[in-house]
Structure formats: structure tokens, C-alpha cells
Amino acid sequence: MEKTDFQERDAFRRDIIDIVRECETILLNADDIKRKIHQKTGKGNFVTDYDSKIQAILKERLLALIPGAAFLGEEDQMDHTDISSGYAFIVDPIDGTANFTRGYNASCISVALALDGRPVLGVVHNPYQQETFHAVKGGGAYLNGERISASDRTLEEGLILFGTAPYHAELTKKSFEVAYRYMSRAQDLRRSGSAALDLCMIASGRAEFFFELSLCPWDYAAGALLVEEAGGIVCDLQGQPITYDRKQTVTARAPKVELLESSHHHAD
């Protein structure tokens, strides 16, 4: 796809949203999930037959839109997919798989389209709430077609969201130390089990600060664009920019929320 005029891009955006939404029936009609769970490496790291099925559909249909694009999905090996030049789809077929396997109903489908290594379009669809978040680079962030923006609350007024990086036991203690440090300044804390949905909560102004110490690009590529297009800020814990080519620490926050300089200091 060349850089086209706005109407063509708009149709293209709608095509991607439609493709993502159509995959919801696989999630909502899933049955006999327990028999279709497979353990991956790391504590609590599961994949189901449904992840694989949704990813296969997304791969076929998205690559039909841009035949030459790269495709990086959660069920692929990151080492073998170069997204640094040209178009690339970055896809998590089910973000919140552990929730999905338990009927916890807090999971979503996340698709980002990157150009030269940076997301230019992001779609996150939560079938349980019938909420579709999307953003286009330079075009704002939307929920079910309505413009959304990050909140104007401060940390002291804020809700903290965090992921526990459960596949990395060595990060558990630090995760809770950082969470405690922010929580001790804020109003309250939540843990959803889906980084993509947490990023959408920041983008839509429902919460003010999110972090997780180890995320893969498919967890955050679409959500990070949503946050930025909603006027929020995405970076690592030290305030450095994130990239989309490796695992890393990701934070997202409302504009009035400041990072608490080094994350290992005690709260005042």
C-alpha cells in the first residue's frame, strides 16, 4: 500500500476494524476451552487452539490487504520477523489468554499496523464489552467511533493499573515495589490481566497510570498508539522512548501524571 489519499486510508482503516471485529465470534462462542489449552514456557503462560485460529484468520485477511507486509503475531517467533522497514502487522490474537481460559471475560484482540517500525494504526477490540478502540497516527483515538482522550487527573487523583509480568518470576518483587510506590500516592489500583485493555483504559481516561516490566510488542503496539493519540504519554519507567522490536518495560500515563524518578526509591 502506498501512502494514499485520506478517503482510501479511511476505507482501509474500516476494513481492518471489520476484520478484527469478525474474529470476536471465535472468542464468544468458544467451548471446551480446558481441553484446548497448551502450556508455553513461563509460569501461567498459556496458548489455546483459539489463539492459533484467530491468528491464522488475521494473518490471511490482513496480508490480503497489504500483500507485501511483514506479520508479527504472538504465536510467531519474534527473532525471525523484521518490522524495521515497510509495513508490518503486529498482532495479539487473544490478549488476556489466562482470563479467557477461565471465563473471566477480560480479553481482547489487538492489531497494529506499523510503518518502518512505528505503529500508524491500532485496533483493540473487547468483545465482552462490545468496545472497539482504534487510532490512526495523527488522527486521534476513538472508542466505537467517538473521540476519546486521556484524563486530566493527577497521580494523586489517579487509578494505577499494572501487569505483574507473570512469566518472569525474577520481576515479581520489583513489580509490586513499583506498584506500591505509585499506589501510595494515588487513589487506588487495578489489575486486569490484559496489557492491551489497560492501555485502552489510559487512552479513554478511565485510569491514569499503567506499567508492566516486561511486555512484547504485540501486547502494546496498538495500545501505545491509542494512548499517544489520546494525548497520553508512553515511555519506559525512566522516561525513555519505547521501541517495537523487542521485550521491554512499558508505562503509559495521563499528561498530568509524572514519573516517580527512579522506580526503586521509597515513597515519601
What would the pLDDT profile of 81-113 be if each residue is shown by its tens digit? 889 999 999 999 999 998 998 999 999 999 999
How many helices and strands (H and E) does the chain possess?
A: 7, 14
Q: Please give the pLDDT value at position 245.
A: 92
The closest alpha carbon to 143, from 62, 207, 229, 65, belongs to 229
Q: Could you tell me what percent of the chain has a pLDDT over 70? A: 87
Q: Please give the pLDDT value at position 35.
A: 64
Grid cell, residue 92, equals 495479539
Concatenating the DSSP letter of every residue in 158-170 gives: PEEEE---TT-GG
Q: Which residues of the chain have pLDDT under 50?
A: 1-4, 6, 263-268
Q: Please give the pLDDT value at position 9.
A: 77
Q: Please give the pLDDT value at position 267.
A: 40
Other Cβ atoms within 10 Å of 66 Cβ, number: 17
With H, G, I as helix, E, B as strand and everything else as coil, classify residue 142.
Answer: strand
